[in-house]
Amino acid sequence: MLEILSNKCEAYADDTKILAIIKNFDSILSLQNDIDKVCKWSTDWSTELNFDKCEILHIGNNNNKFDYDINSKPLTKSNCEKDLGIYIQSDLKWNTQIKNSTTRANRVLGCIRKSFKYPRPEVIKLLYTSLVRPHFEYAISSWCPYLEKDINELEKEQRRATKLIPELRNLDYSQRLTALNLTDLRTRRLRGDLIQMYKLINNFESVDFVNGIKFNSKISGENKIYNLRRHSQTIVREKTGKCPSRFNFLTNRIVNNWNQLTQETIEAKNLNSFKSKIDEWLLKRCSNRLL
């Protein structure tokens, strides 16, 4: 089915998404033709579509939100869709994703609180890192929060978790994290972004970016010219205009921190070595911030 479509299409199991950039009337017709092709293909192969589960998500403030139909029935317009566990909104904000992540985490935290009358630090830490924190970090490179209210909402859940331990309850948040050998969620997201960028640059993972990763041509390529302040894989932030979601996209939000790494760090021979080096860098950075 994917081979007969004109627009980009992504499929996982029985879930299929057609992605189209609407610029003119021809692109509208192209998308509608693809929808018709899917309908015909499903009929030919006796795999009828579930019309109630077919929806269209218009993305972008300047989207004209044209109507499309399946077998002459108009498609329902949606403001938010769940895709592989991530809630994607039409405005590309992450309110729904944050809400669902914190709700699930709260539910687990409640179970932990009720299950232990005298919680020991090592037990609470193990339960938190294995059962609660993953809700905040699943596919985080894709939906990393950039609004302060969303960042604080996630951090608030970790604050609550560290207060489950009676002997740490009266300490400051930073002191509780130190006692449990944990870092704040913002630092963990930064660490995850750096690791993800290392994987992408070294082709450990293949991601089909629209604009790709832009390297600084003055200090990369065959004639590498760089000084102690810049390494050979310095990346450049793209011009995004007034689009906060694109400005905070992975390859843009990581620019400043990635460019601060040393040549030795970005030339790490393997992923584990890179992780060790950025852990040292993050520890030094956190220490300087506290001082």
> What is the model's pLDDT at position 15?
87
Give the C-alpha separation, 278 to 195, whole Å. 9
Closest CA to 169 of 129, 114, 113: 113
Give the C-alpha separation, 112 to 233, whole Å. 45
Give the C-alpha separation, 291 to 288, whole Å. 5
> What is the model's pLDDT at position 242?
82
Closest CA to 69 of 102, 28, 41, 97: 28
The pTM for the full model equals 0.84
Residue at token pair 């039409």: 90
Bridge partners for 86 per DSSP: 83
Reduced to 3 states (helix: H, G, I; strand: E, B; else coil), residue 6 is coil
Q: Where in the chain are the domains?
A: 2-78, 95-182, 204-290
Residue 286 corresponds to which tokens in the numbers above?
């956190």
Per-residue model confidence as pLDDT tens for the chain (291 residues): 889 999 999 888 888 899 999 988 999 999 999 999 999 999 999 988 888 889 999 998 778 889 999 988 999 999 999 998 999 999 889 999 999 999 999 999 999 999 988 889 999 999 999 999 999 999 999 999 999 999 999 999 999 999 999 999 999 999 999 999 999 999 999 999 999 999 998 888 888 776 667 777 554 454 444 444 678 889 888 888 888 888 999 999 999 999 999 899 999 999 999 999 999 998 887 665 543
Burial 239-258 (b: 16+ CB within 10 A, else e): eeeeeeebeebbbbbbbebb
> What is the model's pLDDT at position 40?
92
Given a contact cutoff of 8 angstroms between Cβ atoms, the answer to whether 220 and 234 are in contact is yes
> What is the model's pLDDT at position 49?
86
Q: Which residues contact 146 (CB under 8 A, 6 or more apart)?
A: 244, 245, 247, 248, 253
> What is the model's pLDDT at position 217?
57
Closest CA to 113 of 162, 184, 173: 162
Q: What percent of the residues of the chain are helix, what percent strand, and what percent coil, each to the nearest 5?
A: 50, 10, 40
> What is the model's pLDDT at position 239?
87
What's the Cα-to-Cα distance from 82 to each of 37, 126, 270, rounded to whole Å? 24, 29, 34
Given a contact cutoff of 8 angstroms between Cβ atoms, the answer to whether 234 and 216 are in contact is yes
Given a contact cutoff of 8 angstroms between Cβ atoms, the answer to whether 129 and 185 are in contact is no
> What is the model's pLDDT at position 199?
92
